Structure 1
Amino acid sequence: MTTWITICETCKREGWEESGATETDGARLAEAIEARPVPEGVRLRRHACLMGCGKGCNVAIQAAGKLCYTLGGFEPGAEAAQALLDYAALHAQSDSGQVPYRQWPQGVKGHFVTRHPPLPDT
């Protein structure tokens, strides 16, 4: 079963307008994730606006039949990208999608925003 990392490509962190940047913070995070090797069982996609604007940069980690998570508040870059890929690999390996806290990569701690139960089959 595939675990998807859905990256909000339109996220703008506080101060983005004043920074003079031409690329959104979300797009920068997406590029950082896409530039790294993607673990087995994990796929990437971009999406416009995950509606977590107060916690940009946002991503969703989800798979059919598993707990799904929204994470946010990342600084776009290599460190966040690797932490998200590492966490998604653990999610992919888990039957339920739940990863024990002691296994969480340091870079995702403090970034969880929501957890969603899997959708019912019927």
Structure 2
Amino acid sequence: MTTWITICETCKRDDWAERGMTQSDGELLAEAIEASVAQDSAIRTRRVACTMGCERACNVIIQGAGKIGYSLGKFDGTPEDGAAIAQYARLHLASETGQVPFRTWPQGVKGHFVSRHLPVPQAEGEENATA
């Protein structure tokens, strides 16, 4: 199995221009996450132009086939953010359902969850299933 981290590379925090940034905050976060998962062959990353969560920049989506996925936001784009997101992705990967017990969450992702996405139904009759 693979866990994917989708990263909005165009995210800019509200004070982006005032800080005189040459890269978007999303690009910085993407670099931090990519460095943190470089040795994890079962965790893949992809950069996208927008996840439509601009009011909570920086945003990522953690998901895997047949598993619950999660959107997270309001990161700063630091190496510490990248490491916390990578650690949560490892826990997501190890989970059969994608659910990760709160007590095991890295501190750096607590308070950043935006929404939960149930897996797409794979068979007739699963459309009303809940997790």
Which TM-score band (shorter chain)? over 0.9
The alignment's TM-score, normalised by the length of structure 1, stands at: 0.95
Q: Which residue in 2 is equivalent to 1:115?
A: 116
Q: 4+ runs of 1 displaced by more than 3 Å?
A: none
Contact 2:37 2:43 in 1 (8 A): no
Alignment of 1:6 with 2:35, yes or no, is no
Distance 2:15 2:36 in 1: 27
Computing the radius of gyration from Cα coordinates, the structure with the larger value is 2
**TM-aligned CA deviation for residue 22 of structure 1:** 1.6
**TM-aligned CA deviation for residue 40 of structure 1:** 4.5
* Aligned CA-pair RMSD: 1.1
Distance 1:37 1:97 in 2: 18
Q: How does 1:98-109 map to 2 (within 5 A)?
A: 98-109=99-110
What percentage of aligned pairs have identical amino acids? Answer: 59
Distance 1:86 1:9 in 2: 20
The one-letter code matched in structure 1 to 2:92 is H
**TM-aligned CA deviation for residue 21 of structure 1:** 1.0
**TM-aligned CA deviation for residue 37 of structure 1:** 3.9
Distance 1:43 1:53 in 2: 23
Distance 2:92 2:113 in 1: 14
Q: Which runs of 5+ in 1 are unaligned?
A: none
